[in-house]
Structure 1
Amino acid sequence: MGREGNMTGFHLHLPHLHHGKKNEALYKDIPKGCFAVLVGQGEEQQRFVVPIIYLSHPLFMQLLKEAEDEYGFDQKGTITIPCHVAEFRYVQGLIDKEKQQPHHVGCFRA
């Protein structure tokens, strides 16, 4: 994926993937292959750093759809997901648990 992704009309800007000293300072705590999202609204809002592979997961894509419905297509800067932090943690747990399970391709015997 390049510097921007486009999933069913949702424009995802990942400014921390751009190079330069200003952006390096702003996003130095984000490991390579990850991006930051803001979750919640008001005082409940928290920042999460998640792997880029979340972008291909249907549960995370649903959260992005909710963000699109709430804020429109073209969010600038860090993506804000309007769900409650507890709901996001639950979805994050499901995605992480799924990714830890080995994929069974099948056993064949001659």
Structure 2
Amino acid sequence: MGKREATGAPPKGWMAIRVGAEGEEKRRFLVPVMYLNHPLFLGLLKEAEEEYGFAQKGAITIPCHVEHFCHVQEIIERDRRSSTPYGHHGYHGHGHGHVLPHFPLVGCFKA
């Protein structure tokens, strides 16, 4: 269920977001609201805030290539299934250590 792309109002417990880097067609995804607790998704939201501010109308737009977002979704879903919070990526809620060495998120964010 982690990879949902759809139209219409999201079901309870889900939220609609738009994903796409500059010059790329934006795609609409439905993601579980629990993503708001994951440090990787929070990083994407921070980047959206820096890019667009808080004045976005409608679905939140994340300035990330769709393929990178799908990879982040896979990591979040893997972490959800893990028995430890945020899986084996070493995030312990201390505000550091959540950037993954094998998946640099630089491709999602403007340099």
Does TM-score exceed 0.5, indicating one fold? yes
Q: What corresponds to 1:39 in structure 2? A: 19
Is the 8 Å Cα contact of residues 36 and 47 (structure 1) preserved in structure 2?
Answer: yes
Partner letter of residue 53 of structure 1? M
TM-score normalised per structure 1: 0.64
C-alpha offsets along residues 21-50 of structure 1, whole Å, 9 cap, x if unaligned? xxxxx41xx221000000004553111100
Q: What corresponds to 1:17 in structure 2? A: none
Aligned residue runs from structure 1 range 19-98, under 5 A: 26-27=8-9, 30-41=10-21, 42-98=23-79
TM-score normalised per structure 2: 0.63
Between Structure 1 and Structure 2, which shows a larger proportion of helix residues?
Answer: 1
Between Structure 1 and Structure 2, which shows a larger proportion of strand residues?
Answer: 1
- Greater Cα radius of gyration, structure 1 or 2: 1
Is the 8 Å Cα contact of residues 39 and 83 (structure 1) preserved in structure 2?
Answer: yes
Is the 8 Å Cα contact of residues 44 and 85 (structure 1) preserved in structure 2?
Answer: no
Q: Distance in 1 between matches of 2:59 and 2:65?
A: 17
**Structure 2: gaps (5+ residues):** 1-7, 86-111
> How much identity, in percent, do the aligned residues show?
56
Moved over 3 A (4+): none
Q: Distance in 1 between matches of 2:84 and 2:69?
A: 24
C-alpha offsets along residues 65-108 of structure 1, whole Å, 9 cap, x if unaligned? 1101110123121100010001100111000000012249xxxx
Is the 8 Å Cα contact of residues 39 and 46 (structure 1) preserved in structure 2?
Answer: yes
**Structure 1: gaps (5+ residues):** 1-25, 105-110
Q: Cα–Cα, structure 1 residues 53 and 61, in superposed 2: closer, same or farther, change >3 Å?
A: same
Q: Distance in 2 between matches of 1:97 and 1:31?
A: 22
Aligned length: 78
Q: Over aligned residue pairs, what C-alpha RMSD do you find?
A: 2.0
